[in-house]
Structure 1
Amino acid sequence: MANGRVASGTPDACPDAHQSVKICIDASEPGTATPKNQDAVQFFPTPSGEQVRAASDGSAAAANAAGRAAKEGDDVSLYGTPKEELGPGGGGGLSEAKASFMRNQLEALFQPSDNKLAMKLFGSKKALMKERIRQKAAGHWIIHPCSNFRFYWDLCMLLLLVANLIVLPVAISFFNDDLSIRWIAFNCLSDTIFLLDIVVNFRTGIMHQDNSEQVILDPKLIAHHYIRTWFFLDLISSIPLDYIFLIFIQDYSDSFQLLHAGRALRILRFAKMLSLLRLLRLSRLVRYVSQWEEVYFLNMASVFMKIFNLICMMLLVGHWSGCLQFLVPMLQGFPSNSWVAINELETKYWFEQYSWALFKAMSHMLCIGYGRFPPQSLTDMWLTLLSMISGATCYALFLGHTTNLIQSLDSSRRQYREKLKQVEEYMAYRKLPRDLRQGITDYFEHRYQGKFFDEEAILGELSERLREDVINYNCRSLVASVPFFANADPNFVNDVVTKLKYEVFQPGDIIIKEGTLGTKMYFIQEGIVDIVMSNGEVATSLSDGSYFGEICLLTNARRVASVRAETYCNLFSLSVEHFNAVLDVYPVMRRTMESIAAERLNKIGKNPDIVCQREDLRVDLSTVTALLRSAQAAHNDDDEDDEDGGDSGDAKGGGRAQGGNRRKYSNLLGVHRSREGGGATTIPRPKSESCFHRMFDLASGAAAQTALPRSGTFYESLTGMGSQGNLQED
């Protein structure tokens, strides 16, 4: 902004300065007055207090000095850079800037915006920016169909079309003063806007039929397409042919007295018929409504919109039919056998006439009667027949769309009933016994609970992230109830639950049979199962959050016990292929499951050593055994050193205990590796305290088998360090 300069404080420079303080600000040098006829208006900073006092005292020199001081302090902006100052042509530059700004804003309205239709067509912001560049290169006045301008224009046209299609039939049928000022103004305004709509359509891009992502922006192609489709229909419905006809007839008449003659009455009736051409604007209404459905109702059920549109169309057809029921007798001069004359409605108020006409038309369309009187004339009979045909057509369409809507509202329940019907026909064809049929029916009711859908196919069509989110949400109660998952690595839990399969068992079903080869393990979401021994005794029961069937998957052996469902059980199964694939990635979790499997085998009286038959587990146990032996030897050496050192080590003890134990662990591991020839055998780092303790329980078992005594102090330190995640190779 340019700097302000204070003019002379004399009354000539600032009129009425003795009455009030007035500062005249101009872009010229100090001491000059602002001409009264100056066209350009400049805005400058508010004068300081010193300037105001100088002007009020009438001291021009003081005012000029204060102005120069303000200028010197105001030449630098807030950021320390010189301020721009308008030159002699500043006013013209400002006007050009405003014009450029308005032009840019108008062009921005024509460019595609990030609405639902644009994002559906182009898919991303980057593609949308490329489309904006392409639209700008096509020309400054090409309107993109996804632009904000087109949105607001379509909205205005939609409202105007609805008003025209409702008001025009009433005015043509029930009013004789078609040449009133208000009616002529309404028609002329509407016709002008619809003619402008034709111009807008010539400059609006077209979505390609074969490739919806490609929008045609070439003006020649747009014009060619519009002329071949809707141009002539839009033109006929927009031109005021009735007024043109009346003006043409008036030019050949000497006076307005012609309007009161018999020929003039026929001319006016013909003009009314011409005004009915405006009702062809219904085609525009259908187009605009379909465009709005596509752009702004993408997430809404299409059947709902079809039914809503059909209801509105049926009401509009009934409205038109009622107006037509009255218009035809009026054009005939209300014959004595017409329904209007029979009901004595010729001179009634227009709303009463419209009400009886609408009642008659809706009675025909809904096939509930003929109104107050049946048709008496041939004209009334044909009008009644036309109303019945239109009403029957609308009724059939409405009934069909409503039926589709009811079916689509609960498609999964309908599919369930169809599937259950197929099952019943299958059971009847195979002549299954009644008890078996009842069991199958109960299974379907509990498994699908009245809704049938292909969940695997639905999840398969989702992206990987969405599929994992859905599965994790469905299995949230399982993960929360299984203690094994509570302390496990979240990545391990995610890998497991994404491979689970939902299964349902009825009371009494044998889920696992002893002696068979196992291909699955199970997690219990809801229900109770019994572990049954070969002699029929129930060893234990498992409920929500437990899992079973993992022993044979770990050992590649046969099932060691049977599992029977006591109640309806909702289980998740994990196949042996997925089981091994997950545990190969997380070996620590394999060790944890092996320790739990050994405990379960011991609980039901089976040999827990079958879990230790795998080669990799025997290697791990030998490593732990060797470490424990070395730990025992190192502990004995430490005891001898402590006896030599006396009590001097106690003063330092606590601070160096953890570091010494860690060094001992590393040294022991190095000694063991050197004994084994530099092998790469390691103890996996535990992921949780419970996992660590279970792993060392195996080590304790190995130590007991080799008659190795537990080294109290060092063993406890080793266990504590492991629970804190400190047991790892340096």
Structure 2
Amino acid sequence: MFGDDRHKSDLKHECELVVKDNVTYRYIDHGLFVGLRRAFRKRLLIDESNPRSRSFYKSSFIMTRETIYHLNFYYFMIHPFSSFREFWECLQIIVILFQLTQIPFNLLLITNPPPRYLTVLPDLCTIADIIVTFNTGYVHSQANCVILNRSRVAKHYILTTFLCDLLSLISLDYIVMMIHGSAYLENIPFYNHLEFVNVSKWLRFFVMWLYLNRLKESRQINIFAMGVIKLIASITLLIMWICALNYVSTYSTAWHDKQDATAASYTVYNIFGDLYIQHVRNMVLSAFHLLFLIGTRDPPVNLGVLIAQMIMMLVGFILHLLVLCQMMQYGTRYNSSCKYQQSVKQLTDYMRHKSLPPALQTKLLKYYDFRYELSYYQEDHIMKIMGPQLRQEVMLQSHMHFFAKFPLFEIIPLDVLFGVIMKMKISCYMPADTIIAAGARNTAIFFINYGSIAIYTISGKELKHLAEGEHFGELALMGDTKHNSDTIIAIDCCEIYVLDRKHFMDEISQRPEVYLRVTQYMSEYVAKYYHDDVDLYTDAGSIK
């Protein structure tokens, strides 16, 4: 009936309708440093090589359309799937790790505090991150779209991670310095201990967590490998901070008893030994308290050490709970991932057994990735266990985004739409696949959900392109089921919903008012897009 066999067409799509060029060339074609400006602007636009872009937009045609929309309406905004944004988030991960390791390390250098610029530099990077994020779009998960509107971006950022970034800039030593001056701060015997109360810096840890999740998606890092990285980073940071807490509590208590910095340092020396032994011993003790939730044989030397040990064991208990929850979550994801990997392995074994050529093997693997999006589920089994009412509600809600693309579905009631969607078949096509071949008889209408297609005459001349939100085969729906005289080729990966005329008529014929509205709409559509005196394409036959 139609090209569901996905055979390779003799036609190779080399577009004759438009000149292929970089979209940025049309917008930046004069002025100073044109090449540099084009390269910079390209880094701010959607990156087609980013797996997040391919997963979200499905086809290169839609990504090109998104780029043009971005340049036309939100020229100075940064796309969340851009190469610049990915680079910036990687840079911020490094800065946050440096900041969270620098503070406890500084606290151990009581006699020789580090240069001030090492503390100020991460805060400057945080300010820069706030500015960049205010100018970066975000993904609206419910609407399944990218928002680039500046006011909506600002509102979303303020309601999510802005407070974490802002509070992380508040430092107690800065406040003391502004009130009393830097001279007063330097006269405090252990003034660099004030950094320890800047626990607000840990708020940036949650921002780093978010950036790591995006990095996992964009670089397609294994979920378990990323989980191990997160776990090691979390435990290492906690050990360093608790080590500093143990050391600072000992020093502060000793200073409080002696009221003299030299005597306090001597007390700490007697407890921990020289500087390097202090660090190693603190690390071991902190890890011991944190991971095993028990104290040491030796009693605490003072109240500060006792408090530090209690805090260590409390934090360790919370860490154990978080790790347990994370392991359970990974176990759930592992089952789904294993099922998908097993299906891919079966496909690989099948291709090897059939001795398929490498090019066809690559195409089949790409088809699997596009069709199942690196996940595995049995939709038929899931739908069967639902009741009729719940099944109808789930089907309608899951296809609302699809219905919104086509005006035809706006005039059909929801109860009829449910019957229509149940009769539709989903077909996926890879680039250069033939969807409808010339000479084939067509009795269905095709709705392009993702991707784009090209229409060729029987002589091989390219007529036009159709993309997401458009349909073809309208004349078959009107009863014209002549043999097709045009060939329709997939330009890139396409997901197309196919609705046979008989099934469609069975659904709407039971409702005369719906049948009348659909007939009137299709008549107006054909009158608008087909003309008697012009030879245009049609998937059901050429109209003359």
Q: TM-score, normalised by structure 1?
A: 0.39
Larger CA Rg, structure 1 vs 2: 1
Q: Deviations over 1:38-83 (max 9, x none)?
A: xxxxxxxxxxxxxxxxxxxxxxxxxxxxxxxxxxxxxxxxxxxxxx
Cα distance, 1:283 vs. partner? 2.2
Q: Tell me the distance in 1 between the aligned counterparts of 2:282 and 2:204.
A: 23
Cα 1:341–1:385 change in 2 (3 A) is farther
How many Å apart are 1:107 and its aligned residue?
A: 1.5
- 241, 247, 252: which is aligned to 1:331? 252
Task: Look up the match of 2:74.
Answer: 139
Match of 2:211 among 264, 273, 288: 288
Q: Is the 8 A contact 2:172 2:195 kept in 1?
A: no
Residue by residue, what CA displacement relative to the aligned partner does 1:484-541 show, whole Å, maximum 9, x if unpaired?
xxxxxxxxxxxxxxxxxxxxxxxxxxxxxxxxxxxxxxxxxxxxxxxxxxxxxxxxxx
Q: Relative to structure 1, is the Cα distance of residues 331 and 363 closer, same or farther in structure 2, using a 3 angstrom cutoff?
A: same
> Aligned equivalents of 2:308 and 2:192: distance in 1?
19
Alignment partners' CA distance in 2, 1:236 and 1:471: 56
Distance 1:234 1:412 in 2: 34
CA distance in 2 between partners of 1:409 and 1:304 (Å): 12
Q: 1:360 — aligned with what?
A: 285
Does residue 82 of structure 2 align to residue 150 of structure 1?
no
Structure 1 residues 471 and 277: alpha-carbon distance in aligned structure 2, compared to 1, 3 A threshold: closer
Pairing 1:84-483 to 2, within 5 Å after superposition = 97-114=31-48, 115-178=50-113, 183-212=115-144, 214-238=145-169, 242-250=173-181, 256=183, 258=184, 264-265=188-189, 268=191, 271-273=194-196, 275-297=198-220, 300=222, 302-334=223-255, 344-345=269-270, 349-367=274-292, 369-371=294-296, 373-398=298-323, 471=350, 473-474=352-353
- Give the drift of 1:215: 0.7
Mapped to 1, the partners of 2:128 and 2:194 lie a distance apart of: 24
Q: 1:382 & 1:469 partners in 2: Cα distance?
A: 59
Q: Report if aligned partners of 2:239, 2:283 keep a CA contact under 8 Å in 1.
A: yes
Task: Give, in whole Å, the separation in 2 of the partners of 1:209 and 1:237.
Answer: 27
SS at the partner of 2:309? Answer: helix
Deviation at 1:475, TM superposition (A): 6.5
Alignment of 1:517-536 (within 5 A): none
Secondary structure (helix, strand or coil) at the match of 1:207 reads: strand
2:177–2:185: 8 Å Cα contact kept in structure 1? no
- The structural deviation recorded for 1:321 is 1.1
Q: Deviations over 1:357-389 (max 9, x none)?
A: 111111112327534623254443332222123
Q: How does 1:55-94 map to 2 (within 5 A)?
A: none
Residue type at the aligned position of 1:286: W
Q: Which residue of 1 aligns with 2:435?
A: none
Deviation digits for residues 425-470 of structure 1 (CA, Å, limit 9, x no counterpart): xxxxxxxxxxxxxxxxxxxxxxxxxxxx899xx87xx9xxx99986
Answer yes or no: is the 8 Å Cα contact 2:103–2:196 preserved in 1.
no
Q: Check 1:185–1:259 CA distance in 2 against 1; reply closer, same or farther (3 A cut).
A: closer
* Deviation at residue 273 of structure 1 after TM alignment: 4.6
Given the two structures, how large is their TM-score scaled by the length of structure 2?
0.51
- SS of match in other structure, 2:116: helix
Offset from partner CA, 1:672-720 (integer Å, 9 cap, x none)? xxxxxxxxxxxxxxxxxxxxxxxxxxxxxxxxxxxxxxxxxxxxxxxxx
* CA separation of 1:260 and 1:362: change in aligned 2, threshold 3 A: closer
Give RMSD over aligned pairs. Answer: 4.1
Unaligned stretches of 5+ in structure 1?
1-94, 414-452, 478-730
Q: Distance in 1 between matches of 2:104 and 2:347?
A: 59
Cα gap change, 1:469 to 1:271, in 2 (>3 Å): closer
Superposed CA deviations along residues 614-649 of structure 1, whole A, max 9, x for unmatched, are xxxxxxxxxxxxxxxxxxxxxxxxxxxxxxxxxxxx
- Match of residue 397 from structure 2: none
Task: Return closer, same or farther for 1:286/1:362 CA change in 2, 3 Å cut-off.
Answer: same
Q: 1:217 to 1:368 in 2, by over 3 A?
A: closer
Q: Matched residues in 1 for 2:333 and 2:137: separation?
A: 35
Aligned residue identity for 1:196: A
CA shift for structure 1 position 342: 7.3
Distance of 2:305 and 2:133 partners within structure 1: 41
Report deviation, 1:471: 5.0
Secondary structure (helix, strand or coil) at the match of 1:366 reads helix
Deviation of the 1:400 alpha carbon: 6.1
CA contact (8 A) 1:242 1:274 kept: no
Structure 2: runs of 5 or more not aligned:
1-28, 259-263, 357-544
- Number of aligned residue pairs: 323
Q: Distance in 2 between matches of 1:118 and 1:412?
A: 21
| CA–CA distance in structure 2, aligned partners of residues 260 and 186 of structure 1 | 17
- Cα gap change, 1:334 to 1:194, in 2 (>3 Å): same
**Aligned partners of 2:137 and 2:147 also within 8 Å:** yes
CA distance in 2, matches of 1:366, 1:467: 42
Q: Which amino acid aligns with 2:155?
A: H
Q: Note the C-alpha offset of 1:409.
A: 7.4
Partner of 1:563: none
Bigger shift: residues 148-157 or 398-407: 398-407
Q: 1:238 is matched by which residue type in structure 2?
A: L
Q: Separation in 2 of the partners of 1:109 and 1:318?
A: 38
Q: Distance in 1 between matches of 2:162 and 2:328?
A: 37
Distance 2:36 2:295 in 1: 61
Displacement after TM superposition at 1:154 (Å): 1.2
Secondary structure of the corresponding residue to residue 215 of structure 1:
strand
Q: Give the CA deviation at 1:472.
A: 6.3
Structure 1 residue 240 displacement after superposition: 5.3
- The 1:474–1:158 alpha-carbon spacing in structure 2 relative to 1, beyond 3 Å, is same
Structure 2: distance between partners of 1:99 and 1:411: 50
Distance 1:246 1:355, change over 3 A: same
Separation in structure 2 between the aligned mates of residue 167 and residue 139 of structure 1, nearest angstrom: 39
The 3 A distance-change label for structure 1 pair 304 and 171 is same
Change (3 A) 1:468 1:289: closer
2 CA distance for matches of 1:176 and 1:274? 19
- Does structure 1 conserve the Cα–Cα contact (< 8 Å) formed by 2:170 and 2:198? no
What is the deviation of 1:412? 12
Counterpart code for 2:159: R
Can you list the C-alpha shifts for 1:395-422, whole angstroms capped at 9, x where unaligned?
3444565678789879999xxxxxxxxx
